Amino acid sequence: MQTLPSPRTMYSALARRDSSYEGIFYAGVKTTGIFCRPTCGAKKPKPVNVEFFASPNDALFAGYRPCERCRPLQASIEPPPLVKRLRDTIEKHPTGKLTDADLRRDGIEPSTARRQFKKYYGMTFHAYHRARRMGKALREVRAGESIIGAQLNQGYESASGFWQAFRNIFGERPGKANGVGVLAARWIGTPLGAMLAVANDEGLCLLDFVDRRGLERAIGTLRNRTKSVITPGDNTHLDTITSELGEYFAGKLTRFTVPVRHGGSPFDKSVWSNLRKIPHGTTWSYAQLAVKSGNPKTFRAVAQANSRNYLAIVIPCHRVIRSDGSLSGYGGGVWRKRWLIDHEASVSRTIKSSGQDPTA
């Protein structure tokens, strides 16, 4: 996991266009919605209007688009014409979906497009497009309505698309959604990247990393199941999970107390309940979890139930590994799974060495 320099150090490097920081950080300018390299020649914003990211992907999911001047996504060579054409198409229609059929209608072979775009940018154009769509919507969650409203009043160039992206992913605004419930959403920064938390008055309904591939689908499932819209807001459970995540990553918390509310079949709920019984700092195999769930032959179904867990870390599906000790897939990325397992093991060792019970 990359650790960024201090904000003061990075702003100083940005102000003097220090090339030694190339690849170390990227700067997002809040007033323009653009992110840049440290060496960008554009006029420097005030420190209060800058935030820093470890990777272009982090900046995209924070709602920023790449600067056309310093081109933070590009290598040293100009992109092939097909790559530039795809990127321009995405920027013209950032809130819509660009399917293979759409590409073929434009005379573009999808497999060629994927190959060239990924070779140049290190990600497929679908991944780039998804990041732009989610980033625009998630930026609403980060900023809150009052700030976005001000941007709208000031003619922020992507505001209309921004609101449309929010509606596409999170549902209509409460004022236009009669007879439905409301879920409150909050963007929470963590050492492993930003997370999206969604809660109602009864408890936490969703917690996941914003760059998880299945996040849009999870949001849609939650909306349909609860017949609710999702809007930036505050409630007690969002305050609790924000505080508890901070303590967890600081090594001060081994058991979450935030109330949770989730759907799922009786089997899913049984698996998720058993996940919470895995002691902090230890792991179980899928076979062990299947036994605890009442049927030793259901380890594949157990793995599928894990994938349907929308409460990352709180319901610790990251503590389940293969019988041979190797790591399998994790929605937030295997690298995060390894980090979480190592972090918890280290915290547990520290607690045990002090004579305390890490499960208390």
Active site residues: 317
The amino acid present at 64, given as its one-letter code, is Y
Instruction: For residue 114, give both structure tokens.
Output: 């994927």
Whether the Cβ atoms of residue 301 and residue 341 lie closer than 8 Å to each other: no
> What single string gives the DSSP state of each residue in 85-150?
HHHHHHHHSTTS---HHHHHHTT--HHHHHHHHHHHHSS-HHHHHHHHHHHHHHHHHHH-HHHHHH
| DSSP 8-state code for residue 211 | T
Dihedral over Cα of 117, 122, 127, 132: its sign: negative
| DSSP 8-state code for residue 311 | B
Measured CA to CA, the distance from residue 93 to residue 180 in angstroms comes to 29
| Alpha-carbon distances of 183 from 174, 215, 231, 257, 261, rounded to whole Å | 10, 16, 6, 20, 12
As a three-state string, the secondary structure of 136-180 is HHHHHHHHCHHHHHHHHHCCCCCHHHHHHHHHHHHCCCHHHCCCC
